Structure 1
Amino acid sequence: MPSRTETPSRGTVVPLTPDTAPMLWQRLERHAVPERWRTVDRSAHGPRIVAVPDGDGEDWTGAALVTARPHTAYLKIVDAVGDVRAAAVAVVAHARDQGLAQVKWEGWTVSAEDAAAAGFTPLNPPLTPVGAAEPASAYVRWLHGDAVSEPPYYGQTTHFTCGAVTALVAAAHAGTVPRAALDRESELSLWRRATNFPACEPVGLGVAARRAWPSVPVTVHRDVDRPVLLDHCSEDEREWRALFQRMSRTQAEDLGVPVDPRHLSTATIRSTVDRGEHVLLLISLAGMQGFDVPHWVLCHGAVPGALVIEDPWAATSAGDTWADAHLLPVADAALDTMAAVPPDPFRGAVTLGRPPRSA
């Protein structure tokens, strides 16, 4: 987040903090500022106002509330007021100045016509119901190169089914299963087959994916040869959960699922997704959300300087929504840091290849 007021081409950028908020509300008082600008605590996502000064600089003709998850490569317009098209242009210029890959625009108040005029295209709405804390629609503008192929967005319906959801979304994006098959029953069914109670560790998730889609090549990547994701458990619980993990390793051998002990680099992930394959990547949420919880995301695309992921979870209480989590670009180095899962860091992933073509 900028530490001071900045003036990129065509706009003025001011961080939205407790100290700056009174001045900003005063500058914006002639515009119909939505109440959500004031009532949601977005401080974890670097909120700022990007404003368009008038000719003499005494007034703002348009302004946008902008946020982004930390350690990512995009900006999100929550809303724009006044001359919304000019405000969006200023946000895009600000994003370009920062070398970012993308700008999104939540659809709370913007019309499809205004979004299109500013170069934004609509995102497909989530397959899961959208609550009051999230917009029903959203838009995206890529800043470098062509748009990335869009998987369906499905938000996990429990706190622990992220692994199953990422696998299902990957299968739907690849055409292995129809998008209509992504529902709560399929989510919980795949989780039940993959779980180490309640988390999905890499080998168990890989085994479940192979059994669900036998024609899809599956490779597990895990750079340690020990039980994982058990640090929160008591000694007794660790013993039987570790047994399950050893059973999963045996099942992987029986099914012909290789377990690669090498670090899966972001360069390898980039080449994998460029081939149209998918990587289920285990990360820590400490960087993006501020709490150290292991979490599965789907790597499915690449743009200059960033890999594109699907995150099945959003922190709606902080103003984070499906629009943040969907088609989310993360710089390669930042994603590699997230993929070292504490407390005794290890790396885990599952690669889903493309099924062989029928003769």
Structure 2
Amino acid sequence: MPSPQGTPVKSVVVPFEPDTSPSPLGRLGYEVPERWHTVDRSAHAPHIVAVPGDEGGDRAAALVTARPHTAYLKIVDAVGDVPAAVEAVVAHARDRGLVQVKWEGWTASPETAAAAGFAPLRPPLSPVEDGAGPGTGYVRWLCDGPGTDPPYYGQTTHFTCGAVTALVAQAHGGTLPWEALDREAELTLWRDATNFPACEPIGLGVAVRRAWPSAPVTVHLDTDRPVLLDHYTEEEQEWRALLQHTSRTEAGRTGVPVDPGHLSLAAIRSAIGRREHVLLLLSLARMQGFDVPHWVLCHGVVPGAVVIEDPWAQAAAGDTWVDAHLLPVPDSSLDTMSTLSADRFRGAVAIGRPQQRDASSDEPADE
């Protein structure tokens, strides 16, 4: 909703520190939701975007956060003159060169969000625990969006991210019905792919080929040594390394190519342009603050960023499925995140479109 005469809304941006109650909140005169104070959001750069009023107070304010090294902002809540607060956040995002603003649906109605130029996000297919996130969310792209949205499904264990990204890729591609995305499917695919408990790239690629024989699958892994084992003892590494060797043998037997070259960001963009899906292994150190290997799905591109689905959100930091769904990550950040361990290897699984589709399947799937 534009301001009168199309003039930009003036705003003040200050860090949000719950214990010190920033001055914009003190002057606002509106009730601030308790959720602003009950979660430690410090890892995601929380700040207040406030719109000054005519008589010294503040007309509106929004609590805004975002994962580090990404290309979006998220409105947790807006209070006061909500349209003015949201307009100020959008202007703030544009000033920072970001490509997207999201809005958690704790208090925002579909009508208010639509009036501000936001589209509803599809609700997650996996249940959202009480307090772990809103039931609804909204998105506004500040550039041309990436196209058809995949369903969002959050992993239900700490170790099934690889299986979930593969399932979401197949649902987005029209190979798997959305309603088939459930915990049984998640655990079944993980059991076939796991290196106990993680899914390494070759094992995951072989499991995808077994589950969907008509889907072209290519594993990209630019090291020939076993991966994701550095934190285990030598004895624990030995039998897991043997399983990874078995995965390589099975890849050769089933016709799953293992490309030893380094997969570039340009190649990932090209694959997405061909309507392929790329399951990418990265570290959560830059986005979440801890160096844990994790699978995400690369499914869209926008100027300067790749759009991913992250099946995991850190509820303790105020991070929700709204952050993890349709998440734009700058190319340079994604390049750094997906260069792993001292060997600086990259692991990915590219899934193409099923080979048996005829020419009519060139039309986008009706989702």
Confirm or deny: 8 A CA contact 1:10 1:93 kept in the other structure. no
Question: Which position in structure 2 is the counterpart of 1:95?
Answer: 93
Confirm or deny: 8 A CA contact 1:273 1:299 kept in the other structure. yes
Query: Which amino acid counterpart does residue 248 of structure 1 have in structure 2?
Result: S
Q: Determine helix, strand or coil for the equivalent of 1:149.
A: coil
Question: Which position in structure 1 is the counterpart of 2:103?
Answer: 105
Question: Which position in structure 2 is the counterpart of 1:157?
Answer: 156
Query: Which amino acid counterpart does residue 154 of structure 1 have in structure 2?
Result: Y
Give the whole-Å Cα distance in 2 for the aligned partners of 1:100 and 1:73: 5
Confirm or deny: 8 A CA contact 2:16 2:22 kept in the other structure. no
Change (3 A) 1:95 1:22: closer
Query: Which amino acid counterpart does residue 25 of structure 1 have in structure 2?
Result: L
Give the whole-Å Cα distance in 1 for the aligned partners of 2:162 and 2:199: 6
1:10 aligns with 2:10: yes
Equivalent of 2:80 in 76, 79, 82: 82
Question: Which position in structure 2 is the counterpart of 1:5?
Answer: none
Confirm or deny: 8 A CA contact 2:24 2:61 kept in the other structure. no
Cα deviation digits, residues 46-77 of structure 1 (max 9, x gap): 00001111235x12111100000000000000
Question: Which position in structure 1 is the counterpart of 2:221?
Answer: 222
Give the whole-Å Cα distance in 1 for the aligned partners of 2:190 and 2:76: 33
Residue 219 of structure 1: CA displacement? 0.3
Question: Which position in structure 1 is the counterpart of 2:123?
Answer: 125
Question: Which position in structure 1 is the counterpart of 2:70?
Answer: 72
Q: Which runs of 5+ in 1 are unaligned?
A: 1-7
Cα deviation digits, residues 111-155 of structure 1 (max 9, x gap): 111111100010010001111221000000000114532101000
How many residues align? The count is: 350
Confirm or deny: 8 A CA contact 1:227 1:242 kept in the other structure. yes
Residue 19 of structure 1: CA displacement? 7.6
Give the whole-Å Cα distance in 1 for the aligned partners of 2:260 and 2:82: 51
1:129-278 paired onto structure 2 within 5 Å = 129-133=127-131, 134-278=133-277
Residue 18 of structure 1: CA displacement? 6.0
Give the whole-Å Cα distance in 2 for the aligned partners of 1:46 and 1:148: 29
Change (3 A) 1:81 1:203: same
1:36 aligns with 2:49: no
Question: Which position in structure 2 is the counterpart of 1:291?
Answer: 290
Question: Which position in structure 1 is the counterpart of 2:328?
Answer: 329
Give the whole-Å Cα distance in 2 for the aligned partners of 1:32 and 1:83: 12
Question: Which position in structure 1 is the counterpart of 2:305?
Answer: 306
Residue 357 of structure 1: CA displacement? 4.3
Query: Which amino acid counterpart does residue 10 of structure 2 have in structure 1?
Result: R
TM-score (norm. length: structure 1): 0.95
Cα deviation digits, residues 197-231 of structure 1 (max 9, x gap): 00000000000000000010000000100000011
Moved more, 10-19 or 127-136: 10-19
Give the whole-Å Cα distance in 2 for the aligned partners of 1:205 and 1:231: 19
Moved more, 238-247 or 147-156: 147-156
Residue 343 of structure 1: CA displacement? 4.1
Give the whole-Å Cα distance in 2 for the aligned partners of 1:212 and 1:314: 27
Cα deviation digits, residues 219-261 of structure 1 (max 9, x gap): 0000100000011111111111000000000000011111011
Confirm or deny: 8 A CA contact 1:195 1:201 kept in the other structure. yes
Question: Which position in structure 2 is the counterpart of 1:54?
Answer: 53
Identity value in percent:
70
Query: Which amino acid counterpart does residue 246 of structure 1 have in structure 2?
Result: H
Q: Which runs of 5+ in 2 are unaligned?
A: 1-7, 359-367
Confirm or deny: 8 A CA contact 1:283 1:294 kept in the other structure. yes
Confirm or deny: 8 A CA contact 1:62 1:87 kept in the other structure. yes
Cα deviation digits, residues 319-340 of structure 1 (max 9, x gap): 0000000000000000000001
Residue 16 of structure 1: CA displacement? 1.1
Give the whole-Å Cα distance in 1 for the aligned partners of 2:22 and 2:204: 50
Cα deviation digits, residues 65-120 of structure 1 (max 9, x gap): 00000000000000000111111110000000001010000000111111111000
Give the whole-Å Cα distance in 1 for the aligned partners of 2:58 and 2:211: 56
Query: Which amino acid counterpart does residue 77 of structure 1 have in structure 2?
Result: I
Confirm or deny: 8 A CA contact 1:52 1:63 kept in the other structure. yes
Cα deviation digits, residues 297-350 of structure 1 (max 9, x gap): 000000011100000000001100000000000000000000011243211000
Query: Which amino acid counterpart does residue 21 of structure 1 have in structure 2?
Result: S
Confirm or deny: 8 A CA contact 2:9 2:84 kept in the other structure. no
Question: Which position in structure 2 is the counterpart of 1:4?
Answer: none
Cα deviation digits, residues 161-214 of structure 1 (max 9, x gap): 000000000000001110111000000000000000000000000000000000
Give the whole-Å Cα distance in 1 for the aligned partners of 2:182 and 2:70: 28
